[in-house]
Amino acid sequence: MALFEVGRVCVKIAGRDAGERCVIVEVLDAHTVLVDGATRRRKCNVKHLEPLAETLDVKKGATHDAVAKAFTALGVDVKESKPRKATTKPRHAHKAKADAGEQSAVGQPVKAKAPKAEKPKAEPAKAPKAEKADAPKKKVAAKKTE
Amino acid sequence: MVRGMFKSGRFSRVHVKVPGGRTVLRFKEKTPKQPHCGECGKPLPGIPRMSRVEATHASKSSKRPQRPFGGVLCSACTRKRLVAKARV
What is the predicted ipTM? Answer: 0.73
Q: What is the pLDDT of residue B22?
A: 96
Residues of A with CB below 8 A from B67's CB?
Answer: 14-16, 18
Q: What is the pLDDT of residue B1?
A: 85
Size of chain A in residues: 146
Q: What is the pLDDT of residue A124?
A: 53
Q: What is the pLDDT of residue A51?
A: 94
Q: Please, which residues have CB within 8 angstroms of residue B68's CB and are 6 or more apart in sequence?
A: A18, A19, B78, B82
For residue B50, the enclosing domain spans 32-88
Q: Please, which residues have CB within 8 angstroms of residue A59's CB and are 6 or more apart in sequence?
A: A6, A66
Q: Quick check: A3 contacting B, CB < 8 Å?
A: no
pTM above 0.80, yes or no: no
Q: What is the pLDDT of residue A96?
A: 72
State chain B's mean pLDDT as an integer: 92
- Among B residues 56-75, those touching chain A with beta carbons less than 8 Å apart: 66-68, 75
Please report which residue ranges of A4-145 form alpha helices under DSSP H: 64-71, 90-106, 114-117, 122-145
Same domain, B5 and B38: no
- What burial letters (b/e) apply to A81-108, b meaning 16+ CB within 10 Å? eeeeeeeeeeeebeebeeebeebeeeee
Same domain, B60 and B75: yes
Number of domains in chain B: 2
Same domain, B85 and B71: yes
Give me the domains of chain A, ranges plus CATH numbers.
Answer: 8-71 (2.30.30.30), 90-140 (no CATH)
Provide the CB-side half-sphere exposure for A4 (13 A, CA).
Answer: 19
Same domain, B70 and B82: yes
Q: What is the mean pLDDT of residues B27-38?
A: 92
Same domain, B22 and B64: no
Provide the CB-side half-sphere exposure for A132 (13 A, CA).
Answer: 5
Residues of A with CB below 8 A from B60's CB?
Answer: none
Same domain, B7 and B38: no
Same domain, B49 and B63: yes
Burial of A69 from C-beta contacts in 10 A (0-12 / 13-18 / 19+): middle
Q: What is the mean pLDDT of each run of 10 residues along chain A (146 residues)?
A: 87 93 92 92 94 91 88 79 72 70 58 55 52 51 53
Q: What is the pLDDT of residue A114?
A: 52
Residues of A with CB below 8 A from B78's CB?
Answer: 13, 18
Residues paired with B55 in a beta bridge: none
Same domain, B25 and B41: no
Same domain, B67 and B24: no
What is the per-residue DSSP string for B74-86?
-HHHHHHHHHHHH
State the Cα–Cα distance between residues A60 and A27, nearest whole angstrom: 8
Q: What is the pLDDT of residue A100?
A: 76
Q: Quick check: A53 contacting B, CB < 8 Å?
A: no
Same domain, B21 and B42: no
Residues of A with CB below 8 A from B82's CB?
Answer: 11, 13, 18-19, 50
| Chain B nearest-CA residue for A9 | B86
